[in-house]
Structure 1
Amino acid sequence: MNWEKWRSELRAATLSAFDEMSAGLKGEQLYAVSLQTDDGAMTVGLCANVEEGYAERMAAEADEFGAQEAAYNRWAPAEWRYEMFGDEVFDTLNADLREAIFDPDCDFDAHFSHLLDAMADALAHLRAERGPALENVTLFVTISDSDDTEAVEDRYATQLNPPHLAQAFLQRYA
């Protein structure tokens, strides 16, 4: 797999999906954006949430949520209003990932490492290109349904965000 070419295409897809999603916000307050993959490293997609989406979720299920559940709902892309937004923008990239992973010569650990780094690069590029829109927005890379999720999120949140946003994110489950 040509990771440099794929990384460039991921940057473009991330910008495209973000622009489409943000155009529909209608004044809602964005607070988090992530790129998410699965632990099989075969997909990538944009996820985002807004304060209004979080508040609606909390109000709808208020009786069921304690502090841990509230933190989970705030920071887990599976609970967000814009989970895997703009899937069609990532279709070709995801096909490339699946093709690479099923190659008999694929070194899975190297593949997964390249994928996570490319996702972080795309988010860094997003912040550089859309800075004012992301001023108080936490960016991070995540993996759905993985034992490594929290460590991966912490690593990339520290790398991608200004210290005040990174520190708040790192304390999300405290």
Structure 2
Amino acid sequence: DRNRVRSAAYLGICYQDGLGVIQDDDLALEYLQEAEEEIDMLWNPINAMVMNALGVAYYFGRGTEEDEELGYEYFEDAAKLGLEVAKEHLQQINQPEMSEHESHKPGKEIAPFYQGLAERIREAVEKDLREVLDQVGEEQIYTAALVSDRDCVTLFLAVNTVEYLNENDGPDSESKWIPDEWGYSDGHHSALVKLSRLLWEHHDELPSESYFFNAVISAMKQLKDAKAFGDCSEEITCFVSISDDEEAGHMEDLSAKQLNSAELVAAFLKRDR
């Protein structure tokens, strides 16, 4: 029973975020509900992650009827267990400007184009990364980012190396963590450019901003876990950014916490100091 509950918890989280599988909100909810029935068999932080995932499902209507009150309660339960991402969900919900984005919440069904979005992004980045790595050569990559915009219709990959930073700006330059200033990125005819065109064409079907950025983070996590950036992938600080929004810093922090080791995160969060 314990193994069954643990498996249900892992599968629910993976299917909701598209981690190693095709994203499926309905199947995710089934597994999460199964795990919740025996939540006492789970340890922290897995139990908190299940609560948070249920909060996402109910608050945003992913795989079920939208129920903001119930979703909020799940976020609170996860936050009480110390899960930072749940605290951030609560913070975002409680911000006055949250109401301005009500129209972007996911509906009851995900449009076909957006099903498996994380996998689609991962495949595009994987193709473009081969050319980027050829350009990088023997240089040491220290950071990589996927950058989009607030409308969620563009995506580009940016990579920087220690050598490029030292030669052009210096190790203490502000450009160290600004993707637009980095030395390497996908080209004009890249797979990500083609995907961006499709994102523009299907923009009216976008489930929500949070759905999109969760998929982008998931894709980056899959790439880093697979050591797509080379044998030293674990030493590279990865994050997701928004090119034209004041909330870019928040997105960068949120994604960095999910994609990197505690040591890398601690250094990244000090970048503006």
Q: TM-score category by the smaller chain? A: 0.7 to 0.9
Moved more, 20-29 or 135-144: 20-29
Q: 2:219 aligns with which of 103, 122, 126?
A: 122
Query: Percent identical across equivalent pairs?
Result: 28
Q: 1:100 aligns with which of 202, 206, 212?
A: 202
In the TM superposition, what is the alpha-carbon distance from 1:78 to its structure 2 partner? 0.7
SS of 2:272 mapped into structure 1: coil
Partner of 2:139: 28
Q: 2:249 aligns with which of 142, 150, 164?
A: 150
Q: 1:73 aligns with which of 175, 194, 201?
A: 175
Change (3 A) 1:89 1:133: farther
Matched pairs, number = 159
SS of 1:24 mapped into structure 2: helix
Amino acid at match of 2:143: A
Higher RCO (Cα < 8 Å, 6 or more apart): 1
**Larger strand fraction of residues:** 1
1:135 aligns with 2:257: no
Q: d(CA) in 2 for partners of 1:74 and 1:91?
A: 24
Partner deviation per Cα, 1:19-60 (whole Å, 9 max, x = no partner)? 22113322101000010001221101111100111112216x
Unaligned runs of 5+ in 2: 1-110
Q: d(CA) in 2 for partners of 1:115 and 1:92?
A: 17
Unaligned runs of 5+ in 1: none
For the pair shown, the structure with the greater C-alpha radius of gyration is 2
Moved over 3 A (4+): none
Do the aligned residues in 2 keep the contact of 1:3 with 1:114 (CA within 8 Å)?
no
Do the aligned residues in 1 keep the contact of 2:143 with 2:161 (CA within 8 Å)?
yes
Q: d(CA) in 2 for partners of 1:170 and 1:128?
A: 21
CA root-mean-square deviation: 2.0
Q: TM-score, normalised by structure 2?
A: 0.54
